[in-house]
Amino acid sequence: MANVTIVGAGLMGTATAYPLSDNGHNVRLVGTHLDRDIIKSCREKRYHPRLRCELPPTVQPYYVDEIAEAMRDTDIIVSGVNSLGVRWIGKTIGPYLQAGQLVIAVTKGLEVTTNGELVILPDVLASELPAGIRNQVELAAIGGPCIAGELARRRQSCVVFGSRDREAAERLAAVFRTSCYHIWTTTDLLGLEYSVALKNGYTLGVGLAAGLSEKAGDSDMADVHTYNMAAAIFAQGCTEIERMLQIVGGTPFFAYGLPGVGDLFVTSQGGRTVRLGRLLGAGHSLAEARQIMAGETLEAVEIIRAMSCALPKLVEGGTLAPDELPLMRALIDIVVYNQPVRLPFDRFFKNIARA
């Protein structure tokens, strides 16, 4: 049995405790400073208030100031924070890491450097680790369609574990895999991370359709939706994920597998990213939408902002033509430049004409 330390007691981090506990592993669930109420509930009632689930039996909850104890003799660390907490987690676990440990992150996103280079989050996390340990631990990430509440309730879920080190990915998969948590492994960590990060941006795009319909006063028509528009945005998003994978040297077919289209589908079924898109489509500014959705992490905004810095660099370098990724450009106009929603459908699907 392994010792696994989950840092970040939000929905997704905590949800990984369920397959781990089902496999009999010892799980230490460490809340961040934002998770105090959650840990209190977990300690007193063994109940996770956001997942609305009982904690599984082999899980021990810890406050963040008890992290030293939670990291003792651990084998695997799960980074359960969101994209804004990645540097924090690197700094926080760094002092306790030991050679041979594995770190796996549920976080989805991309960071952009000041000169417009995109960096995947496991590399951001690694950059915060002490130099002496950085190459002594393997980093990995989880991608694919997995809503936390379903995983915690043991619904069938299919995900991908990526690590540049094949053996690390396989070792991790063997620890987490259950009869309802199906895991594939890949060494294309880069492609996996780009796919699952970009899908957040494109999900916001899918959400625009319902908002535009509301704005036009169409949404009261019984049974008539804007699924045609949503589907076109969905398909263009998938096409653009594939193009970005080509550009960065990722596995193109992730676009139409679990990490791309699978994750895009699950996120498009509802939740905060679709809701944000809907608000923007209905005519709210990002500032207004942020106010309405106060307290929610809007990772789609971060990825679209990162892409707004990266695209000019890619065009400048000649890897991307100025008319490519028209949907992402439209999302940038809306989210970063506060422009009214305009979707350039006729610039989508350039590849069809070549077929």
Q: How far is the CB of 63 from its own copies (least distance, A)?
A: 28
Is 273 among the residues that bind its own copies (CB under 8 A)?
no
DSSP letter string, 64-91: GGGHHHHHTT-SEEEE---GGGHHHHHH
β-bridge mates for residue 29, sequence order = 6, 61
Pick from 186, 200, 273, 308: which binds its own copies (CB under 8 A)? 186
Is 200 among the residues that bind its own copies (CB under 8 A)?
no
Is 251 among the residues that bind its own copies (CB under 8 A)?
yes
Phi, psi for 238 (deg, rounded to 5): -60, -45
Is 323 among the residues that bind its own copies (CB under 8 A)?
no
- Which of 62/348 has CB closer to its own copies? 348
53-54 and 47-48 beta bridge pairing = antiparallel
- Which of 71/147 has CB closer to its own copies? 147
Structure token pair of residue 149: 């509440």
What residue type is assigned to position 156 of the chain? Q
- Each residue 203-222 as x (binds its own copies by CB under 8 A) or -, in order, gives ------x---x----x--x-
CA 17 – CA 25 distance, rounded (Å):
9
**Region binding its own copies by CB under 8 A among candidate stretches 62-70, 128-136, 185-193, 325-333:** 185-193
Pick from 1, 231, 292, 321: which binds its own copies (CB under 8 A)? 231
* Strand locations in 80-210 (E): 102-105, 110-112, 118-120, 138-143, 157-163, 181-186
Structure token pair of residue 330: 């439209």
β-bridge mates for residue 41, sequence order = none
CA 288 – CA 280 distance, rounded (Å):
9
Please say whether the beta carbons of 206 and 260 come within 8 A: no
Is 176 among the residues that bind its own copies (CB under 8 A)?
no
Q: How far is the CB of 32 from its own copies (least distance, A)?
A: 24
Pick from 160, 204, 310, 332: which binds its own copies (CB under 8 A)? 160
Is 268 among the residues that bind its own copies (CB under 8 A)?
yes
Angle in degrees, CA 161, 26, 151, rounded to 5: 45
Is 157 among the residues that bind its own copies (CB under 8 A)?
yes
Tell me which residues touch its own copies (CB under 8 A).
Answer: 144-147, 149-151, 153, 155-158, 160, 182, 184-188, 191, 209, 213, 218, 221, 223-232, 234-235, 238-239, 242, 251, 253-258, 260-263, 265-266, 268-269, 343, 345-346, 348-349, 351-353, 355
